[in-house]
Structure 1
Amino acid sequence: MKRVMLLILTNLAILVVASIVMSILGVNTKSMGGLLIFAAMFGFGGSFISLKISKWMAKKTMGCEVIASPRDETERWLVDTVARQAEQSGIKMPEVAIYNSGEMNAFATGPSKDNALVAVSTGLLYGMEKGEIEAVLAHEVSHVANGDMVTLTLIQGVVNTFVIFAARAIAQVIDNFVASDDEEGEGMGFFAYMAVVFVLDMILGILASTIVAYFSRIREFKADEGAARLVGKDKMIAALERLRQGPATGEMPAQMSAFGINGKKSMAELLMSHPPLEKRIEALRNQ
C-alpha cells in the first residue's frame, strides 16, 4: 500500500507541472492520443529518475557506509567475496556497503549492471555464518547480473502508464456522461473530476502493485537460483533457513525492499515483493 499511496501523491503533486509542460509542447490531453503520451512521459519518467538516483537514495535513506578501504578482516572478506562473485557473473565490481540495522537483510541497487551497490545490514553480517553470508551476497550479485533493477523499472513504468492513462480516461468518460445529462453541459467540474481520478488511481494502483509484485517474486526465485550456482544450493538454503528463524527488527523503505534478501511480510501474498521463505527453500530443494 505504501507504493500505491506514493504513486497517488506523486501524481497529484506533479499533475499541475506536467499539464503546463504538455500545454507548452502542444499536446492535447483531452484526446486519447495526447493522454497516452502524457501518461507514458509521466509513468516512465518517474521510474527512470528513481532508477538513476537509486544508489544515492540507498546511501541516504539507509545510512550506508561504503567500504572504500577495508578496516578489518570482516570488511576485507566482504569486499573480496563480492569481487569474486562479480567476476564469476561477468559484471563490474559493485560498491560494497554496510548499514546499521538489527534486521538480517541485504539489498542491491543501481542504474545498471556495471554501476551497482550491494549493501548488508550489521544484523546479517554479525548474525550469520560466513557460508550463509556468502550465499546472501551471491543472491544480491545475481540480482545485479540479471539486470533486475532495470527490468522492474520497465515493468513499473508500464503499470504507472496504465494507471495514469486508465484513471484519467475513465474520468473523462464519466465527465462526458455527466455533461450530456447536464443542461449547461459543464460536466463534473474540476474538483469532482480530480476526486474521481484520485479514487481510480487508488483502485488501479492496487491492481498495478499486484503485477509488479508478481514479477518481483519471479526475480527472487531467479536470484536464488543464481546464488545456488555461485556458491552451492546448500549454502543458499541454509541462508534462507536462518532468515526464516531469525528476528526481523526493522524494515527497509519500499524502494529498497524489492531487492532485499528478506522481503516485507504482507497479509496478501499477491502484494508481497518476495515469495514466502518456505516456497523459496522448497524451490531450491527441488532443483
Structure 2
Amino acid sequence: MFNTFRTTVLLAALTALFMAVGYVIGGTAGMMIAFGVALATNVIGYWNSDKLVLRMQNAVPVAQSQAPELYDMVHILSQRAGIPTPAVYLIQTDQPNAFATGRNPENAAVAVSSGLLQQLQTHEVAAVIAHELGHIRNRDTLTMTITATFAGAISMLAQFGLFFGGGNRRDNPLGGFGAILMVFLAPVAAMLVQMAISRTREYEADKAGAEISGDPMALASALQKIAGAAHQKVNVAAEQNPAMAHMYIINPLSGQRMDNLFSTHPDTANRIEALTNLAASMRVDDKGRKAEPRPSPRNITPASGGGWRVPQTGQTGDSGGQRGPWG
C-alpha cells in the first residue's frame, strides 16, 4: 500500500514538473498540451515503460534454451524471493552491470550485461541477480521505470521548446529566456526526483538481495568489481540515455563516484560497509547464537551440468563464445 501511495505521489510530482516546463515554453496553451502529454506518458509508462527501457538499453530477450544455467539461477533465486520468475534479457556490453524493470512481479524482467557474466564469479552474479529480484519484490521497478521515462520526456520537451522558439507567448512572464533556462533546469529537476527515489532504494535492495542470496559479501564483492569497471568500460546505450542510469545496480555513466547530492547512487564504499555489517548480523540469530548458514548461490549447480557460454543474440559484441560464470 505504501509503495502504491509513493508511486502516486511521484507521478503527481512529475506531472506537475511536466506542466511547468510546458508553461515556461508555451504559456497556458503549452501547459495544457504538456498536461495531455503527461497523461499519455502515465498510461504508456504504466503499461509499456519496461519495454521502452529494455529497447533503449539494447536489451534482447534470452530464451531458456540459450542459457539454461542462467535461467536455473534466476528461477532458484526467484523461489527464495517468493516471486514469479522474471523474463531474462541480455545487454551486449563489456561493462558489468544489471537492472530490473516491470510494472509488478508478475510482469517483470531482469537484464544482465555480457560483461557481468564474463567478469564476475558465479556467486557474485547470483548476488547481483538477487539484488534485482529485491527491487522486483519491493515493487520498486514500476516507480524507477516510470521515473526514467518521465525524466527523458521532460528533457526532450525542454529541448523541443527551445528548438521551436518557445516561450514567446504573452502569458509566459519569462519569455524566451524562460525557455532557455528550462532547458537546463528541467533535466536537473528530473534528476533530483530520480535521486530522491533511487538512493534509499538501492540500500533496501542490497539488504533484500543479501537475504535472498544468503551471501552479503558476494554482493559486496560484486559491487566493488562493477564500480571499478563502470568507469573504465563504456556502456554506450546508457551514455545515450542517461535518464536510465538510476535503474542499474551501479551508475553506468562515467565521472560520478561521489556520494553527494548529484549522484544517482549511494557511494559504493558505503554500500559495501552496510553489507559487511549485515553479514556480521546474519551469522547469529536473535538470541545471539550462531545461526545455520543459508545455502549459498555459490553451491548452486546448473541442471545440465558443466559451464555455459554467453548466449548469442544476433547483436554486435565481443562476448560470444566465451565462458560464463558457471564454468
Residues 102 and 145 in structure 2, CA contact (< 8 A), matched pair in contact too:
no
Q: 1:131 to 1:52 in 2, by over 3 A?
A: same
Q: 1:274 to 1:192 in 2, by over 3 A?
A: closer
Q: What is the letter of the counterpart of residue 71 of structure 2?
A: V
Q: TM-score, normalised by structure 2?
A: 0.61
**Is the counterpart of residue 216 in structure 1 residue 183 in structure 2?**
no
Q: Where in structure 1 are there 5+ consecutive unaligned residues?
A: 1-6, 20-28, 164-174, 176-186
> 3-state SS of the aligned residue for 2:119?
coil
Aligned-residue offset at 1:246: 3.3
Q: 1:262 to 1:121 in 2, by over 3 A?
A: same
Q: 1:89 to 1:44 in 2, by over 3 A?
A: farther
> 3-state SS of the aligned residue for 2:125?
helix
Give the Cα–Cα distance (whole angstroms) in 1 for the partners of residues 60 and 143 of structure 2.
27
Residues 64 and 119 in structure 1, CA contact (< 8 A), matched pair in contact too:
yes
RMSD in angstroms over aligned alpha carbons? 3.8
Q: 1:266 to 1:86 in 2, by over 3 A?
A: same
Give the Cα–Cα distance (whole angstroms) in 2 for the partners of residues 244 and 158 of structure 1.
26
Residues 92 and 115 in structure 2, CA contact (< 8 A), matched pair in contact too:
yes
Aligned-residue offset at 1:193: 2.6
Residues 44 and 157 in structure 1, CA contact (< 8 A), matched pair in contact too:
no
- Percent identity over the alignment is 26
**Is the counterpart of residue 101 in structure 1 residue 89 in structure 2?**
no
Give the Cα–Cα distance (whole angstroms) in 2 for the partners of residues 88 and 57 of structure 1.
29
Q: What is the letter of the counterpart of residue 254 of structure 1?
A: P
Give the Cα–Cα distance (whole angstroms) in 1 for the partners of residues 242 and 43 of structure 2.
16
Q: 1:61 to 1:151 in 2, by over 3 A?
A: closer
1:52 is matched with which residue?
Answer: 47
**Is the counterpart of residue 137 in structure 1 residue 129 in structure 2?**
yes
Q: 1:44 to 1:149 in 2, by over 3 A?
A: farther
Of 228, 239, 256, 1:266 maps to: 256
Superposition pairs for residues 67-106 of structure 1, below 5 Å? 67-71=62-66, 75-106=67-98
**Is the counterpart of residue 113 in structure 1 residue 100 in structure 2?**
no
Superposition pairs for residues 1-287 of structure 1, below 5 Å? 29=28, 42-43=37-38, 45-71=40-66, 75-152=67-144, 188=170, 193-200=175-182, 202-203=184-185, 205-231=187-213, 232-246=215-229, 248-251=232-235, 252=238, 253-263=241-251, 264=253, 265-266=255-256, 269-287=260-278
Residues 109 and 256 in structure 1, CA contact (< 8 A), matched pair in contact too:
no
2:300 is matched with which residue?
Answer: none
> 3-state SS of the aligned residue for 1:88?
helix
> 3-state SS of the aligned residue for 1:65?
strand
> More displaced, 123-132 or 145-154?
145-154
Give the Cα–Cα distance (whole angstroms) in 1 for the partners of residues 107 and 205 of structure 2.
18
Number of residue pairs matched? 238
Aligned-residue offset at 1:229: 0.2
Q: TM-score, normalised by structure 1?
A: 0.68
Give the Cα–Cα distance (whole angstroms) in 2 for the partners of residues 281 and 205 of structure 1.
30
Q: 1:155 to 1:249 in 2, by over 3 A?
A: closer
Q: 1:198 to 1:60 in 2, by over 3 A?
A: same
Q: Which has the larger radius of gyration?
A: 1
Q: What is the letter of the counterpart of residue 241 of structure 1?
A: Q
1:59-112 deviation line (CA, Å, top 9, x unaligned): 4333323122323xxx21211111122222232221112221000111111222
1:146-174 deviation line (CA, Å, top 9, x unaligned): 111223467679999x99xxxxxxxxxxx
Q: Where in structure 2 are there 5+ consecutive unaligned residues?
A: 1-16, 156-166, 279-327
